[in-house]
Chain A
Amino acid sequence: MAGKTNGAANGGGQTPVLECRKLCISYFTRAGEIPAVVDFNMTLMPGEAQGIVGESGCGKSTVALAIMQYLGSNGKIVSGEIFFEGRDMRTMSEEELRDLRGSQIAMVYQEPMASLNPAMRIGDQLSEVPIFHEGASPEEAMERARKMIASVRLPEPNRILNSYPHQISGGQQQRVVIAMALLSNPKLLLLDEPTTALDVTVEAGIVDLINEIAAEFGTSMIYISHNLGLILETCHRITVMYSGEAVEVGTVNDVFDAMRHPYTRGLFASIPLPGADKNSHPLIAIPGQLPLPHERPTGCYFAPRCDFFVAGTCDTGLLPMREVPGDDQHFTRCVRFDELDWQESLGKGISQDVTPPGDVVLRVDDMTKHYEIEEGALFFAGEKKTVKANEKISFVAHEAETVAIVGESGCGKSTFAKVLMGLEDATSGEVLLGNLELGDLPVDKRNPETISKLQMIFQNPFDTLNPSHSIGGQIGRVIRKFGVESDDEKVEDRVMELLDIVKLPRDFAKRRPRQLSGGQKQRVGIARAFAGNPAVVIADEPVSALDVSVQAAVTELLMDIQRENRTTLLFISHDLSVVRYLADRIIVMYLGQIMEQGTTDEIFAPPYHPYTEALLSAVPIADTHVKKRHIVLTGEIPSASNPPKGCPFSTRCAYMIEGTCDVTPPPVRDISAGHQIACHLSVETLDAMEPVIQLGAAAAPEPDVETV
């Protein structure tokens, strides 16, 4: 976090590293000019880190590309200026720009695999930078690459330099990309969602690295993200963008604690912060949808979705940024900011009574799933390897209960869903739905009633619906298939009913999926899962691909339908903030095994499993009042085909007991009824753990760096 301290040195006659003045960027397409960014201003001082937050389509990546002067053939800066160290970038020649890019200004993209050349060794790719920009000799360049690899905390620099990109993990790839960006000692580093494609614990490591870099090299940074929590952890100032406009600019503390734009406020109300709770403090979604660029209203672009809209005031011409008096360069694009009462709470949403859970619906007992793979054999029987995708999973789920399964990639949650849905057989153990054993009953042997009892909501909204069939047809097929209705008219009625339930207009039944937005598609996916009145619904990260403001609406919808139908929800996720918000019970998985399970309160309070502790610390929280203990895991998630011998987490665990953890599988300890931790540590050690997240601490967001 040291990066945050040296940057606030504004003023003092320094030349800003980057200055954007009234920048307007448009794309020119067949449909005409599409304004992507309107009136964008930014002043970035040396050593400062600024964040740009916004939902998809708000123009944040366009700003980054404009700064690189790399807009592509159809994008153009229509008006405004970009100064890099006092020089106008718009007047630079292509030659000058090439010199600048990659040496003075460097960029880190979202997909690390796509940023590296798969056909070149990492060492060669890295040494290209000094060779090209500074004319260094190959030996000298390689030496500098080796140093840089070490300073981005990669183990065994020589091995990394000699590997190809596919031979190292995603987190390591992103570190290489950052190393490449830093090699030429840039003045400005642009980070476009650098951790979105990574797992949370790996993400925490990268965020840490970025902060260390800022402290060590004094690089100015622009951090683009949709995640407010990450911005809080990395930046001094923040720009909130909406539909191509910056709507609010200010220091992180001002914007987080005293926001002065209704959109920013709506954004914070729709993300699950530690205080939110599905029953007493439900999320409040921003109504409506992001307007398309050519359908933006005159005046305030947020007006159609704003509670404080006043005709005649908010819809007159382009609104200017106005300074909020008393704060440190805090600007907002709301004309009515000084009239509104910002202390008044946003309404509490409709609080709900706690739904009491019913009988046991689903019981999983020692369920194990192994895959046998043969290695490298074409003609001879190769060495057989066992991938332990799921190892002795046991838990119960009650009626009307939400059970969350939390874990990072490779933890076996998808395999578990496949076994449950009958696409794979369990190797051993039992899966009981009611009294029916499902573990070795493939889906084509199940009767329609059983199938309809167990349905699934998928992660990717763009994949969940068949693009070739109408919405109504796809929901109708499920209704027929499950034998809910068979008469044409009744099927149609039921389709309409389901569309009403998921709050979509009835004429959507005739539409094709491509005419729907991501959130709407996900609603259809929910309608489809609930078409056959299921007893258990498996939701595989149903909101993780959606924008923040849409996420809240879909989450609330899912909760409402669940409450109504007393459905058991198995919620698979990697996002602990969402899980904390909606789950009754949580199961933490790592490499196919359950590390800890218990009620939500038990998981979020000590005693923790060491992995849960690290996971809790890794999740960025967008609240300046939250005090977090800082735990960063080293190393990478081991491969499921070659798991550690003893405890799967032993390779990354800070508490690892040599000779025990790495040899013997951990015992499952019952801490209290229903709360189980699989760990070698004694109950006393576990009890002695301090809470990771503490609410209501002082406003200073500076968490203590603790080495465990």
Chain B
Amino acid sequence: MAVTTITPPAPSLLERLKTPRNIGILVALAWMPLMIYVMGTGRIDEGVRNAILLPAIPAVAMLYVIAVTAWKESWIAVLGVSLVSFWFFMAVAAPFLPLADPNAPVAPFATPFSEKKDIFFWLGTDFKGRDMLSRVIWGCQRVLVWGVTATFVAYIIGTIFGLMAGYLSGWWDEFISFFGNVLLSFPVMVLFIVILNYLGPSGFNIVIAVTFASAPAIMRIVRGLALDIKTRDYVFAAQTRGESALWIMVIELLPNVRGPIIVDACLRLGYTTVAITTLTFLGLGLQPPDPDWGLMIREAAKVAMLWKFSYMLLIPALAVSSLILGFNLMADGLREMSLRD
């Protein structure tokens, strides 16, 4: 290698954005407005709500560019992140796109690519005459927000218990693992239905239900990793310098279990999306009239028995599938990259 000293050019904007701190800020910028927007429905003034979403649009775009440049060696991951980012972008940009009101009935039973009442419908309208394109785009907001929130909460709970079971062992492990096994022995859907029937259908209750269903599995993964890592010399070194158990779990163990957890989280986001859509389909999740994929499938279920109107079912179903596929491809790509080096 030739040794020539070239003064490195000033780091590009992209390089400067790639520090963990800046990525954290971007994620917060993209996520917080969307969460406030969705969770604050009916509580915040409409104009303010829309304004809140504005900074999220460039943040999502930048995150997408960063992810693509960082993962360019795995086309699977790039494809996955493209699908996921597309829906995220749609979610934050929905109020600003030139779309028809998703709840306004215009012309019922218009098939895709047809004109009715002098309006061209790209994806047609549903049985009540609401624009499908607009509903599909608006509908991703709630699935994304509640799906990601629920998975995130499940991860926090699962990781805490997993670290405790794995690191503290003994009675802690016995108790936590036993409780986890009891929860895991329920079929997931039954558990969901029981919890939501008891608590009543709402977004927050979906978070609770998903946490109960997912946290035990997450706990097991983290517990296994913690059991392995706690035999490493650096943990031994921390113990012998008198660090507390909490410090060892958070500082020594947690950063080293993060790799497999991130991959699993992407997969689990997919499962949670399926679960939320299914719950809504069963009428246990998010409530009408606001658009939601699961709700759209539920409402279209009867009409779509006719072949001509099956698009009402297929369009939201494809939307859900593409989002889940995006999450799964991302997980595959991340795993592939982590195995390479």
Once bound together, how far apart are the Cα atoms of A458 and B231, in whole Å? 12
Looking at B134-142, B240-248, B321-329, the stretch in contact with chain A turns out to be B240-248
Q: Are A528 and B237 in contact (CB under 8 A)?
A: yes
> Is B255 at the interface (CB under 8 A from chain A)?
yes
Q: Which residues of B contact A455 (CB under 8 A)?
A: 240-241
**Given A463-B232, A466-B234, A478 contacting B241 (CB threshold 8 A):** yes
Query: Which residues of B, 302-341, contact A by the 8 Å Cβ criterion?
Result: 340
Minimum C-beta distance from B249 to chain A (A): 13
Closest A residue to B244 using CB positions: A444
Give per-residue flags for A457-470: 1 if the beta carbon is below 8 A from chain B beta carbons, else 0: 01110011111110
Q: Which residues of A contact B240 (CB under 8 A)?
A: 421-423, 443, 451, 455-456
Minimum C-beta distance from B255 to chain A (A): 3
Closest B residue to A459 using CB positions: B233
**Given A423-B239, A443-B239, A468 contacting B233 (CB threshold 8 A):** no
> Is A645 at the interface (CB under 8 A from chain B)?
no
Give per-residue flags for A100-118: 1 if the beta carbon is below 8 A from chain B beta carbons, else 0: 0000000000000000000
Query: Which residues of A, 68-116, contact B by the 8 Å Cβ criterion?
Result: none
Q: Are B241 and A463 in contact (CB under 8 A)?
A: no
Q: Which residues of A contact B256 (CB under 8 A)?
A: 466-468
Once bound together, how far apart are the Cα atoms of A147 and B320, in whole Å? 67
> Is B1 at the interface (CB under 8 A from chain A)?
yes
> Is A446 at the interface (CB under 8 A from chain B)?
yes
- Measured as residues with beta carbon below 8 angstroms from the partner, the interface class of chain A is 20 to 34
Q: Which residues of B contact A294 (CB under 8 A)?
A: 1
Once bound together, how far apart are the Cα atoms of A173 and B242, in whole Å? 40
> Is B236 at the interface (CB under 8 A from chain A)?
yes
Closest A residue to B236 using CB positions: A458
Q: Which residues of A contact B252 (CB under 8 A)?
A: 466
**Given A295-B1, A469-B255, A464 contacting B239 (CB threshold 8 A):** no
Query: Which residues of A, 404-425, contact B by the 8 Å Cβ criterion?
Result: 421-423
Q: Which residues of A contact B232 (CB under 8 A)?
A: 463
Residue among B1, B232, B241, B244 facing the most chain A CB atoms (10 A cut-off): B241
Partner of A464, one of B234, B251, B258: B234
Once bound together, how far apart are the Cα atoms of A433 and B187, in whole Å? 58
Partner of B233, one of A422, A464, A482: A464
Minimum C-beta distance from A32 to chain B (A): 13
Once bound together, how far apart are the Cα atoms of A58 and B28, in whole Å? 48
Minimum C-beta distance from A42 to chain B (A): 31
Partner of A443, one of B234, B242, B255, B258: B242
Once bound together, how far apart are the Cα atoms of A448 and B232, in whole Å? 22
> Is A481 at the interface (CB under 8 A from chain B)?
yes
Q: Which residues of A contact B239 (CB under 8 A)?
A: 421, 423, 443
Query: Which residues of B, 201-223, contact A by the 8 Å Cβ criterion?
Result: none
Query: Which residues of A, 283-323, contact B by the 8 Å Cβ criterion?
Result: 294-295
Give per-residue flags for A243-270: 1 if the beta carbon is below 8 A from chain B beta carbons, else 0: 0000000000000000000000000000
Closest A residue to B252 using CB positions: A466
Query: Which residues of A, 475-531, contact B by the 8 Å Cβ criterion?
Result: 478, 481-482, 528
Once bound together, how far apart are the Cα atoms of A139 and B236, in whole Å? 52
Q: Which residues of B contact A421 (CB under 8 A)?
A: 239-240
Q: Which residues of B contact A465 (CB under 8 A)?
A: 234
Q: Which residues of A contact B244 (CB under 8 A)?
A: 444
Partner of A451, one of B241, B251, B255: B241
Query: Which residues of B, 55-110, contact A by the 8 Å Cβ criterion?
Result: 73
Q: Which residues of B contact A295 (CB under 8 A)?
A: 1
Q: Which residues of B contact A463 (CB under 8 A)?
A: 232-234
Q: Which residues of B contact A444 (CB under 8 A)?
A: 242, 244
Q: Which residues of A contact B258 (CB under 8 A)?
A: 468
Once bound together, how far apart are the Cα atoms of A481 and B1, in whole Å? 43
Minimum C-beta distance from A570 to chain B (A): 14
Q: Which residues of B contact A482 (CB under 8 A)?
A: 241
Q: Are B242 and A456 in contact (CB under 8 A)?
A: no
Closest B residue to A481 using CB positions: B241
Closest B residue to A540 using CB positions: B233
Q: Which residues of B contact A443 (CB under 8 A)?
A: 239-240, 242
Give per-residue flags for B157-195: 1 if the beta carbon is below 8 A from chain A beta carbons, else 0: 000000000000000000000000000000000000000
Once bound together, how far apart are the Cα atoms of A36 and B1, in whole Å? 18
17 inter-chain pairs at a CB distance below 8 angstroms, sorted by A residue, are A30-B340, A421-B240, A444-B242, A444-B244, A446-B242, A451-B240, A451-B242, A459-B233, A463-B232, A466-B234, A466-B252, A466-B255, A468-B258, A469-B255, A481-B241, A481-B243, A528-B237
9 closest residue pairs by CB, A with B: A468-B255, A458-B233, A463-B233, A466-B234, A421-B240, A464-B233, A463-B232, A451-B242, A443-B242
B residues lining the A interface (CB < 8 Å): 1, 73, 232-234, 236-237, 239-244, 251-252, 255-256, 258, 340
Q: Other than A295-B1, A478-B241, give 9 A-B pairs with Cβ distance below 8 A.
A: A30-B340, A423-B239, A423-B240, A444-B244, A459-B233, A464-B237, A468-B255, A469-B251, A481-B241
